[in-house]
Amino acid sequence: MVSGKGGTGKTSFTACMATLFKKKVLADCDVDAANLNLLLNADVVEEHNFVSGHKAAINRDICISCGGCREVCRYQAISEDYRVDGFSCEGCGACFYRCPAGAVTFAKALCGHFFVGKTKKQEYAVFAELLPGAENSGKLVTAVRKKALEIALEKGSKIILTDGPPGIGCTVIASLTGASFVVFVTEPTVSGVHDLKRVMELSRHFKLPGAVVINKSDLNRSYSNEIVFLCLERGFNLLGSIPYEPLVSQAQRQAKTILEYAPDCAASNAIRQIHRKLNRRLETL
């Protein structure tokens, strides 16, 4: 599931699909702000370090204070008393190779963690946490997806439901690579239509089949109609439209999906219809 922009209801929709699909593994690839595990009330059963890139450090017992490292550092990451600011250091290694005393170490950096959780239905969800200021989020997404695939193969799960990050950047590309099908969750707003176009182009670039879900579709009928025409113009099917439902927020505060909290409301009925269409589409792949 991708959206092109944040706030479209992508995670809420993914959580609903998680309650309807059987024999699946969940992967939250929004490593900068994972929240699918919160909505599904997943308890952590495994924790793994994510190590990527390098960071410099200076051993003051060996350092001769020659100033060479500060000369070559383009990021002003080394202070006057020869200490490295980990947030400013880009891991280029220039100081490591320049130091005549061998006082600079260049070890791999801890950039975050990824977790395996079990939901209240005892199903597996993989999610991650990128440390503040850390880079290589695309690689962390790949680590999440790889772990989800390992669990799916081990447990005989038929499907991996991926909650992708917003935007069209590195993390989104890492989330889409190798996917069988893409669901675009959008909203009837100016930014919703604009960013849907961008993520559609990204999907077409990687030759990935996909379909569109319009969330909060009754908030602006004009833009909802524009999204329908956009689907026809660009060759993507419309899976369905979900009307705005204020009870969604109440459901989330209780760590429930709208299907669990208000199973008979119009939004829940629309979501079940979308699931049936999506399930039939996936069976043809």
CA angle 110/116/120 to nearest 5° reads: 145
In this model, does residue 157 exceed pLDDT 80?
Answer: yes
Quick one: pLDDT band at residue 6, thresholds 50, 70, 90? confident
Q: Which residue has the tokens 């290694």?
A: 93
Choose the final residue of a domain: 110, 133, 155. 110
Residue 202 is assigned to a structural domain of this protein: yes
Q: Strands of 182-186's sheet, edge to edge?
A: 182-186, 210-215, 237-242
Residue 269 is assigned to a structural domain of this protein: yes
Residue 1 is assigned to a structural domain of this protein: no
Quick one: pLDDT band at residue 4, thresholds 50, 70, 90? confident
Q: Quote the CA–CA distance of 142 and 124 in Å, as a whole number.
A: 17
Residue 2 is assigned to a structural domain of this protein: no
- Share above pLDDT 70 across residues of the chain, in percent, rounded to a whole number: 100
Residue 203 is assigned to a structural domain of this protein: yes
Range of the domain at 243: 10-41+119-283
Q: Which of 203-212, 249-258, 273-282 has the lowest mean pLDDT?
A: 249-258
Q: What is the pLDDT of residue 231?
A: 95
Q: What is the pLDDT of residue 276?
A: 96
Both 191 and 143 in a single domain?
yes
Task: For residue 112, give both structure tokens.
Answer: 């975050």
Both 82 and 147 in a single domain?
no
**What is the pLDDT averaged over residues 40-65?**
93
In this model, does residue 5 exceed pLDDT 90?
Answer: no
Q: Which residue, among 90, 23, 21, has the nearest Cα to 55 in the 3D structure?
A: 90
Both 181 and 256 in a single domain?
yes
In this model, does residue 150 exceed pLDDT 80?
Answer: yes
Quick one: pLDDT band at residue 285, thresholds 50, 70, 90? confident
Bridge partner list, 36:
none
The CATH number of the domain holding residue 79 is 3.30.70.20
Question: How many domains in the chain?
Answer: 2
DSSP string, the chain: -B-SSTTSSHHHHHHHHHHHSSSEEEEE--TTS--HHHHTTPEEEEEEEEEEEEEEEE-TTT----SHHHHH-TT--B-TTS-B-TTT-----HHHHH-TT--EEEEEEEEEEEEEEE-TTS-EEEEEEEPTT---HHHHHHHHHHHHHHHHHHHT-SEEEEEPPSSSSHHHHHHHTT-S-EEEEE-SSHHHHHHHHHHHHHHHHTT--EEEEEETGGG-HHHHHHHHHHHHHHT-EEEEEE---THHHHHHHTT--HHHH-TTSHHHHHHHHHHHHHHHHHHT-
The CATH number of the domain holding residue 267 is 3.40.50.300
Q: 218-265, pLDDT tens digit by residue? A: 999 999 999 999 999 999 999 999 999 999 999 988 889 999 999 999
Both 181 and 261 in a single domain?
yes
Q: What is the pLDDT of residue 31?
A: 92
Q: How far is CA 265 from CA 12, 235, 245, 259, 275, in A?
A: 15, 31, 8, 8, 16
